[in-house]
Amino acid sequence: MATYNAPIDDMMFLFEKLRNNAHYNELEIYKEVNSDLAKDILEQAAKLTENLILPLAKAGDETPAIFENGIVRTPPGYKEAYKKFIEDGWTSLSCDPQYGGQGMPKTISAFFDEMLSSASLSFKLYSELSIGAYNCILHHGSDSIKKKFLPNMVSGIWSGTMCLTEPVCGTDLGLLKTKAIEQADGTFKLTGQKIFITSGDHDLTQNIIHLVLARMPDAPAGTKGISLFLVPKIKVKEDSSLGQRNGVSTGSIESKMGIKGSATCVLNFDEAIGYMIGPKNKGLASMFTMMNLERIVVGIQGLGISEIAYQNALNYSKERKQGNSNNSQLTNGADIIIDHADIRRTLLNMKSIIEGERALSFWLAQETEVSLHHSDNKIKQEASDIVSLMTPVVKSLFTDMGMEITSDAMQIFGGYGYTKDQGIEQLYRDNRITPIYEGTNAVQAIDLVFRKLINKNGNIIGNYIQLIRKDIEDNKKNNEVRFFADKLNQNLKILVDFTSWIEKSMKNSKDDVSAACNDYLKVLGLVALGHSWLKVLDISFKEINSNKKFYEDKIETAKFFFNRVLPRVDMHYQSGTSGSKNIMNFRFN
């Protein structure tokens, strides 16, 4: 079984030293959230994930969720762990105190998301979608809906889902067919089938609150005619007590490559009673509140799985002995494989990407809080623009890197990585869904390039480039950081050139742009990681004497990143700007 130690030192380093986002620090609601509180929460979270949740990963993989006699049963140990999980208040961590939440910022809950993803993604998914559904209801539900449904979702005795996908539509939601007919009392009857619904049914909670996209009979075709409905598995009375079973049933659950402990369900809605959330025909916009936050969390899933893969590969490489390294001191016998240059390169590749991602997502968590809670609307909007720009980047880059890192971890284990005993191949299989769900990574890249760079709020990418440029200029003044600032500057210029190329090509050839989206997302993502590393380096050089080993490690890891990972930017630029003729003119047989 894979082992795991939550990386609290790195998380606390970010929380204490990189919490220098001025607008975040202006937020009144988080004034009390200091380092002691953060450390206490992270230490409790570490105990929970290392001891209680981690063993569920193997249990769920070996004994997946099952569907028998119309009931979905979770793997052994899940029920007991979930009971403890909600008794200790973990579902309520980031929720509004008005509904029983603890009101912690995403700067803390994102670390908890990472720990849970490392320990067991399957187990995590049972509460993850509940938080997504909670966010959507909080932002778009009426007061009476919030009062009736949110407290039990926050406490975790009810869970939530998001029901978008149908047999005919995954990416293209404009095709969806589920019908909603309005009733005389203002409720709706929903009929249709949803597939691939994560935690659509299970035995962990008393009720499940489905958020369902459906179409009213008079709705316009396509995405402009979609409304959002809250449909409980069991009807809920005015006082929030449970009533009769609603018209929602489970058809089957999927047999899958990974995340086998998570129940992925076919749900049939047969005149199920639902309540409209948000305005008629604007359901997709409301659902996007949930999906945008959720997409960042999916990126963090990739980060969490990468972290546990790295930790296990590192430990193994310090034990496994094979061959002699170039600098071997041995006259007899083999060296541990971490002495070989290529193993060291692979480990540093993982570490430098993971720590850069953690720093980037910590900064994004601050920006998300500013976008939700700042009192100045202009600052709020600017933060919201940055979050919307970076959401597809974090979702895609972190999950794609998760594939690279879990594959490399397997490689370090050699044959023992491919076989099941060490639990490494499971990390690869579990991570494989993350580039697919919540909108495939290809679609994220299209969203980034066609909708997020420049939109009605202005030149968002230009503002982001400006922000990086300013940090580069500031850091150039510092002799120790200048080398890194210069390297980042070279790559920022490539991002600027690529952005101009996209703008020009948008007028001449949409195919050229479509064929470049994936490369562009990678360029922006790698530059964003470089920017995060620059901030880490600034602190590391300044504070080196306070914690020498920690900061020297950071500087050495950054050197690897700037010399060996950042050059991928140029490769993606060359590939992305080569045009689409080499793709579109090919005749597949």
Ligand X SMILES: Cc1cc2nc3c(=O)[nH]c(=O)nc-3n(C[C@H](O)[C@H](O)[C@H](O)COP(=O)(O)OP(=O)(O)OC[C@H]3O[C@@H](n4cnc5c(N)ncnc54)[C@H](O)[C@@H]3O)c2cc1C
446 versus 448: smaller Cβ distance to ligand X? 446
Dist. CA 116–CA 126, nearest whole Å? 11
Among candidate residues 258, 136, 122, the one with its CA nearest the CA of residue 199: 122
C-beta of 360: minimal distance to ligand X in Å?
24
Is 367 an annotated catalytic residue?
Answer: no
Residue 242 binds ligand X, judged by CB under 6 A: no
* Sign of the alpha-carbon torsion through 143, 146, 149, 154: negative
Residue 171 beta carbon to ligand X: minimum distance, rounded to whole angstroms: 3
Residues 312 and 97: their CA atoms lie apart, in Å, by 38
Spatial CA neighbour of 202 closest among 324, 26, 336, 81? 81
- Residue sitting closest to ligand X (CB): 170
- Check binding of 436 to ligand X (CB under 6 A): yes
Q: Identify which range of 46-54, 157-165, 292-300, 540-548 contacts ligand X by CB under 6 A.
A: 157-165
CA atoms within 13 A on the CB side of 154: 23
- Residue 440 in contact with ligand X, rule: CB under 6 A: yes
Pick from 355, 383, 410, 401: nearest CA to 539: 355
Give yes or no for residue 171 binding ligand X (CB under 6 A). Answer: yes
User: In angstroms, what is the minimal distance from the CB of 438 to ligand X?
Assistant: 6
In angstroms, give the least distance from the CB of 164 to ligand X.
3
How many residues sit in the footprint of ligand X (CB under 6 A)? 21
Q: Which is nearer to ligand X, 89 or 170 (CB)?
A: 170
Do residues 231 and 210 lie in contact, with contact meaning Cβ atoms separated by under 8 Å? yes
* Straight-line distance from the first to the last Cα atom of the chain, in angstroms, rounded to the nearest whole number: 45
Choose between 261 and 530: whose C-beta lies nearer to ligand X.
261
CA 306/CA 233 separation, integer angstroms: 35
198 part of the interface to ligand X, by CB under 6 A: yes
Give the C-alpha separation, 130 to 157, whole Å: 10
Neighbouring residues of 374: CB distance < 8 A, sequence distance ≥ 6: 23, 26, 27, 380, 383
CA–CA separation, 215 and 209 (whole Å): 19
The catalytic position among 254, 294, 357, 438 is: 438
Binding mask 105-144 for ligand X (x = CB under 6 A): ----------------------------------------
Q: Binding to ligand X by residue 354, rule CB under 6 A?
A: no
d(CA 252, CA 69) in angstroms, rounded, equals: 10
Which one of residues 1, 219, 442, 454 is an interface residue with ligand X (CB under 6 A)?
442
Does 162 sit near ligand X (CB under 6 A)? yes
For ligand X, the closer CB: 408 or 430: 430
Alpha-carbon distance values, 575 to 399, 402, 518, 555 (Å): 21, 22, 10, 30
| Pick 278 or 356: Cβ nearer ligand X | 278
Site string for ligand X, 478-507 (x = CB under 6 A): ------------------------------
Supply the minimum distance, in Å, between the C-beta of residue 161 and ligand X.
Answer: 6
Q: Is 208 in the site for ligand X (CB under 6 A)?
A: no
Nearer to ligand X, 104 or 272 (CB): 272
Q: Is 211 in the site for ligand X (CB under 6 A)?
A: no
Selected binder of ligand X within 211, 338, 386, 433 (CB under 6 A): 433
In the numeric block, the tokens 């007919």 are attached to 181
Using the minimum distance from each CB to ligand X, give the nearer residue, 212 or 524: 212
- Cα 278 to Cα 166, 231, 443, distances in angstroms: 22, 14, 25
Give the residue from 463, 283, 277, 297 showing the smallest Cα distance to 383: 463
Asked if residue 197 binds ligand X (CB under 6 A), the reply is: yes
Positions in the binding site for ligand X (CB under 6 A) = 161-165, 170-171, 196-198, 256, 264, 433, 436-440, 442-443, 446
Residues annotated catalytic, as ranges: 438
